[in-house]
Structure 1
Amino acid sequence: MTQFNVGFATDIGKKRLQNQDSGTALPELGIFIVADGMGGHRGGETASAMAVDIISKTLETNKQAAKPEKDILESAVKEASRLIYEKSTKHPELQGMGTTATILFSVGQKFVIGQVGDSRCYYIRDGLIWQLTRDHSLVAEKIRAGLITREQARTDKMKNVITRSVGFEVDVNVETFELTPRSGDVYLLCSDGLSGMIDDFEIAKTVTKNLSDENNPKKAADELVTLANNNGGDDNITVIVVQVR
């Protein structure tokens, strides 16, 4: 099984009253998840926590199942969506809640990435960074259509509107793909409280520096949270740095 060095950090940020992000890093199981909740009262907090709990437990239970790993991951996210939606229909104060979900699932010699919403998974190597996941958001659709630039998207008034979420409806369309990791690869999962406050170059620079100088993914995650807060801390911030040994 693939071995990892992992750093995890989450923070409420500077402007929110509660942390509606949730995340988990389970290197011994090869399961890493970031979820960014939405919804009034405690809806966002509830949705993201439920998603992380249900998806991680379902992946662990079905990891050895005799079916494609992408199907296992997709089924886990769909199960979370169903249960979150059902809870929202039984509790009026939670109605309309939902969450993003970005998942890295390590099985054997491959990674499966799952994506719903606008949290992200990045790949970092040799100081360079690539965004692996596609944002499911209105501004991302406008960028893909050539209507606005990435810089304009940072200040667009619709930048927080996502087009897919786990639990807002009973079912959800999950985007999945597979990768073959190499020793030294770094994968970074984060909520938009990080990617919306720091550009990709700064993320890569901070991670590369901490892994090169001290081989310390936890310090890298903590420094990224600090940078996001120093730039305004407009949202909750959650970061998982996963280094392949």
Structure 2
Amino acid sequence: MKWSYTTDTGLVRSLNEDSLCLSPETGFFAVADGMGGHKAGEVASRTALQIIKRELDRRLGLGVKPADALVEAIKEANRTIYEMAAQNADWAGMGTTITACLKNKNHVLIGQVGDSRAYLLRGSEIARLTEDHSLVQQMVKNGGITEEQAFKHPQRNVLTRALGTATSLEVDLYKVKVKPREMLLICTDGLTGYLRQEELSEIITTAPDLDTAVDRLLKKAIQSGGADNITIILVEF
């Protein structure tokens, strides 16, 4: 397994509220995009990944099934962040997205909350693996707008679900079979808010290696506006 990653503040924000976690020895890769004032977004995203990794490892060590362990770890992070926000006025309302991927034999398990995303690249084909928990995604599902309209919609950053904003949390879980040479892209909306799916595929598949692909993705997102934090993890199995 090979991997490459980057995270960048972008051109507008003064603080990077994205966080990432890479644990190739356990097959765990995740990104989180925090929200909230007074650095609360940074606290939320960083704390979420720390707790998820710790609790996932603990549960797997106890023999809990990987899918259950991943979901339970994310829910534990949700409870912790909610309690932190309730105890600190500066952190009130903080939350974060989470896209957490765990390689398990010949499958990848994905725990999803929010609008960060995971994609699978098979040769020249790319498939989006996750569904955004956002207002515009609901509008697309209901037939109110098209995917192209959603890409440009002024309310595209409005989330309908985030980690840390309520006492209970529904976590979407996906299980995807993967084969050697296939690639997994995990990213925050600082990338997908500027690059369409076909652009992601073209940049990755024409790059000579993972590092170059990640660098080109970042540069393209910045050239296209770069108004948000950008975090990218690219894994080749």
**Residue 55 of structure 1 pairs with residue 33 of structure 2:** no
Name whichever of 218-227 and 93-102 sits farther off.
218-227
Instruction: Tell me the amino acid that sits aligned with residue 48 of structure 1.
Output: S
How far apart, CA to CA, are the structure 2 residues paired with 1:220 and 1:65?
Answer: 38
How far apart, CA to CA, are the structure 1 residues paired with 2:32 and 2:143?
Answer: 28
Select the residue among 168, 172, 189 that pairs with 1:171.
Answer: 168
Q: Cα deviations across residues 126-184 of structure 1 (Å, max 9, x unaligned)?
A: 11111000110000000111101112112222111111111111221000021222101
How far apart, CA to CA, are the structure 1 residues paired with 2:26 and 2:194?
Answer: 31
How far apart, CA to CA, are the structure 1 residues paired with 2:215 and 2:21?
Answer: 15
How far apart, CA to CA, are the structure 1 residues paired with 2:198 and 2:215?
Answer: 17
Residue 108 of structure 1 and its aligned partner are, at CA, apart by 3.0
Instruction: Give the match for residue 234 of structure 1.
Output: 227
How far apart, CA to CA, are the structure 2 residues paired with 1:222 and 1:58?
Answer: 32
Aligned partners of 1:122 and 1:130 also within 8 Å: yes
The alignment partner of 1:177 has SS state of strand
How far apart, CA to CA, are the structure 2 residues paired with 1:148 and 1:115?
Answer: 23
Pairwise CA RMSD: 1.1
Aligned partners of 1:6 and 1:25 also within 8 Å: no
Q: Cα deviations across residues 86-140 of structure 1 (Å, max 9, x unaligned)?
A: 1111110000000000011012332211100000000111111110001100000
Residue 11 of structure 1 and its aligned partner are, at CA, apart by 0.4
TM-score, scaled relative to structure 2: 0.97
How far apart, CA to CA, are the structure 2 residues paired with 1:53 and 1:219?
Answer: 28
How far apart, CA to CA, are the structure 2 residues paired with 1:121 and 1:54?
Answer: 21
Select the residue among 9, 13, 25 that pairs with 1:12.
Answer: 9
Aligned partners of 1:136 and 1:163 also within 8 Å: yes
How far apart, CA to CA, are the structure 2 residues paired with 1:152 and 1:30?
Answer: 36
TM-score, scaled relative to structure 1: 0.94
**Residue 24 of structure 1 pairs with residue 17 of structure 2:** no
Select the residue among 76, 80, 88 that pairs with 1:79.
Answer: 76
How far apart, CA to CA, are the structure 2 residues paired with 1:125 and 1:64?
Answer: 32
The alignment partner of 1:63 has SS state of helix
Within a 5 Å distance, the mapping from 1:73-152 to structure 2 comes to 73-152=70-149
The alignment partner of 1:154 has SS state of helix
Instruction: Tell me the amino acid that sits aligned with residue 210 of structure 2.
Output: P
The alignment partner of 1:136 has SS state of coil
Instruction: Tell me the amino acid that sits aligned with residue 219 of structure 1.
Output: T
Identical counterparts, % of pairs: 39
Residue 67 of structure 1 and its aligned partner are, at CA, apart by 3.1
The alignment partner of 2:25 has SS state of coil
- Return closer, same or farther for 1:218/1:185 CA change in 2, 3 Å cut-off: same
Residue 62 of structure 1 and its aligned partner are, at CA, apart by 2.1
Aligned partners of 1:191 and 1:237 also within 8 Å: yes
Instruction: Give the match for residue 221 of structure 1.
Output: 214
List gaps (5 residues or longer) in structure 1.
none
Instruction: Tell me the amino acid that sits aligned with residue 125 of structure 2.
Output: L
Aligned partners of 2:130 and 2:174 also within 8 Å: no
The alignment partner of 2:31 has SS state of strand
Residue 80 of structure 1 and its aligned partner are, at CA, apart by 0.3
How far apart, CA to CA, are the structure 2 residues paired with 1:25 and 1:221?
Answer: 15
